[in-house]
Amino acid sequence: MKRYSNLYSQIAAFDNILVAARKAQKGKRFREKVLAFNYNLEGELTKLQQELTKKTYQPGTYRTFFIKEPKSRMISAAPYRDRVVHHALCNVIVPLIEPTFISDSYANRLGFGTHRALHRFTHFARSSCYVLQCDIQKYFPSIDHEILKNLLRRKIKCQDTLWLIDTIIDNSNEQLAAIEYFKSDDLLTPVQRRRGLPIGNLTSQFFANVYLNTFDHFVKEQLQVKKYLRYVDDFALFSDDRGFLTEVRLAIEEYLAQLRLKIHPVKSQLFETKHGANFVGFRILPDRIRVRAENLRRAKRRLRKMQLDYIHGKISQEKVSQSIQSWYAHLEHGDTWQLRQQIFAALAWTRE
């Protein structure tokens, strides 16, 4: 396995940090922190470059908040200058490591995403009798720092780059509790081992794929599951042989235990595909694709709020148009023509 060295000069290069800043501000240019940073852009980038070069860089304090879509998740927002550093790091290391990912890993990858994953899932479901669909329990809070660092060291041997990676990982803020015991653990092991990555970080999204990359290869190459895909911590295996999937589940649980992960005892199920399966916000049935009821209710609430904000002049027509087009395009991936007509016909967009 090839390991990469001499990467840090590329990461700390001014041009790379400038590109990182442009990526970090995408869709956020007019936020207060971004405007303040851009007011003295060259000075801020030069300061960051000096801190990285001298290895005096230290991440700032996270801002945390909770979202419910549909379950409650804690989101951690890093300071803007730290997000610039995350992009600077990922600009260099992602192109080196991502080619090792399997083609059926879809989350947080350029050119992949939810809709491509949905089409692949639909193809597998409609050509198989059974599916083993699994969800990893408290995935981001459970990611073990020591294991993650060792996995990254399989591909990167540049010590300065590893210093920056370790600095970002070590400064992860405390996540929701995920106390789990595994073989050979003593009473204090789960407390002593550092774990958890902030969901809001670009680096966390990439590291999450790195963490399960060896698992993906294990399923495809060792277990020889031909129809398998993963989207973040949701994964599915398809077969016409129910007994095969039953055996495979045991092997999966044993392998994930090496990563100090467990599959969700309720959400992980083996069933016939003819009954339909939920995936990335849709319900995939043998003859049609529907939007999940909870996703539909949530979307209607957002649309109604956006409608009120527009009527009272809080958001622009351009913003409304972008949001509606995005949601409309998302719905087009299901059999939703009548649904689209009903939703958008019921909304009035006239200002007072």
Q: Over the stretch 37-93, which tens digit does the pLDDT of each residue have?
A: 999 999 999 999 999 999 999 999 998 888 776 667 788 889 999 999 999 999 999
Residue 243 has pLDDT above 70, yes or no: yes
Listed range (182-196, 208-222, 338-352) with the worst mean pLDDT: 338-352
What count of other Cβ atoms lies within 10 Å of the Cβ of residue 82?
Answer: 22
Cα 84 from Cα 215, distance rounded (Å):
30
Give the pLDDT band (50/70/90) at residue 212. very high
pLDDT value of position 23: 95
pLDDT value of position 53: 97
Query: Which is higher by pLDDT, 341 or 91?
Result: 91
Give the pLDDT band (50/70/90) at residue 128. very high
Which token pair is 184?
């050979």
Q: What is the mean pLDDT of residues 288-292?
A: 82
Cα 190 from Cα 202, distance rounded (Å):
26
pLDDT value of position 273: 97
Q: What is the mean pLDDT of residues 186-193?
A: 81
pLDDT value of position 335: 65
Q: For a pLDDT cut of 90, what percent of the chain falls above it?
A: 62
Residue 246 has pLDDT above 80, yes or no: yes
The H-assigned helical ranges of the chain are 8-11, 14-24, 32-39, 41-54, 80-97, 113-126, 139-142, 145-153, 159-170, 189-192, 202-217, 242-258, 293-311, 317-331, 337-345
Global pTM? 0.85
Query: Which is higher by pLDDT, 235 or 345?
Result: 235
pLDDT value of position 330: 66
Place of tokens 């060896």: 214
Q: What is the mean pLDDT of residues 116-136?
A: 96
144 — phi, psi (to 5°)?
A: -85, 125
Q: Count Cα neighbours of 321 within 13 Å in the Cβ-side half-sphere.
A: 3
Residue 338 has pLDDT above 70, yes or no: no
Which token pair is 56?
């005096």
Q: What is the mean pLDDT of residues 167-172?
A: 96
Can you state the percent helix, strand and coil of the chain, rounding each to 5? Answer: 55, 15, 35
Cα 332 from Cα 328, distance rounded (Å):
6
Kindly report the average pLDDT of the chain as a whole number.
89
Residue 95 has pLDDT above 70, yes or no: yes
Cα 9 from Cα 16, distance rounded (Å):
10
Cα 316 from Cα 89, distance rounded (Å):
35
Q: How far is CA 111 from CA 76, 107, 114, 116, 282, in A?
A: 25, 10, 10, 8, 20
Residue 290 has pLDDT above 60, yes or no: yes
pLDDT value of position 76: 86
Q: What is the mean pLDDT of residues 113-128?
A: 94
Query: Which is higher by pLDDT, 321 or 135?
Result: 135
Query: Which is higher by pLDDT, 66 or 310?
Result: 66
Give the pLDDT band (50/70/90) at residue 151. very high
Q: What is the mean pLDDT of residues 234-245?
A: 98
User: 288 Cβ partners below 8 Å, 6+ apart?
Assistant: 334, 335
